[in-house]
Amino acid sequence: MDTLAQKVTDTLRNWILSGELEQGRRIEEIPLAERLQVSRTPVRAALATLSNEGLIEHQPKRGYLVRTFSAQEIMPTYEVRAVLEGLVCRHAAMIGLQAHARQQLQECLELGDRILAKGTLLESDLEPYRQMNVTFHNTLIQSAQNSVAERFAIQAQALAFSSDRIMLWHDHRIIVRSHDDHHRILQAVLDRDCSRAEQLMREHVYYAGVILRDHYEKTSGTAQGRVV
């Protein structure tokens, strides 16, 4: 996805998560393009991405609707992800990491450390951190060398609200805690501690769901603040 389309996607995702685009609202390409002062092409790409993430729903010949969820519907998706990603972490720890995967994961940790060392969450750091997070999780999934577990883990990330690209970039303390989890997870995998690697990843994913659920309860159907 090109830079402009990604920027439009991030903006629309933030509007949905913050309640600025409320549940059940119809979304049309032309008004959005005019509001964002862009062409319809990046808007069209953004809507397709958000539909895949489960945040909006495509209705043939009628455009898109912001999907309606209760906060209670969020956690089951994260419970599924937690189990599957915990399983792949167990397998990755069991067989050990290949050199290129180890290097990639270490680079993810170093990038996250540099971003968070600033002590504040800059908007310009959102996409690099988010991409780091996606790379970290997907590298571990691939390192399990279990095609069945990998397929279902990737599918679980596509469940509504469960994408690794959905990130509430507003609380430095929460992001630091999440990244500290990354450090502990990788260390457990490197130590070949299968049970600890699995449990840490399960807690990590589940906690992300709790944070999103709690935020969604506060902002659902409202325009309280802006999620960055």
Q: At which of 45, 66, 87 does a domain end?
A: 66
Show the domain range for 99: 71-219
Write down the pLDDT at residue 221: 46
My answer on whether 59 and 76 are in the same domain is: no
Tell me how far CA of residue 139 lies from CA of 25, 37, 133, 223, in angstroms. 36, 36, 10, 36
My answer on whether 85 and 100 are in the same domain is: yes
For the cut 70, the answer to whether the pLDDT of residue 224 exceeds it is no
pTM of the complete model? 0.74
- Kindly report the average pLDDT of the chain as a whole number: 88
My answer on whether 30 and 143 are in the same domain is: no
Return phi, psi of residue 168, to 5°.
Answer: -90, 100
My answer on whether 21 and 107 are in the same domain is: no
My answer on whether 103 and 131 are in the same domain is: yes
182 falls within a domain: yes
224 falls within a domain: no
Tens of pLDDT, residues 174-191: 999 999 999 999 999 999
pLDDT level of residue 218 (50, 70, 90 thresholds): confident
Q: What is the CATH number of the domain that holds 23?
A: 1.10.10.10
What whole-number distance in Å separates Cα of residue 170 and Cα of residue 157?
22
227 falls within a domain: no
For the cut 60, the answer to whether the pLDDT of residue 31 exceeds it is yes
Nearest of 1, 58, 64, 2 to residue 32 by alpha carbon: 64
Total domains, the chain: 2
Question: Which sign does the torsion angle of CA 197, 199, 200, 201 carry?
Answer: positive
My answer on whether 20 and 87 are in the same domain is: no
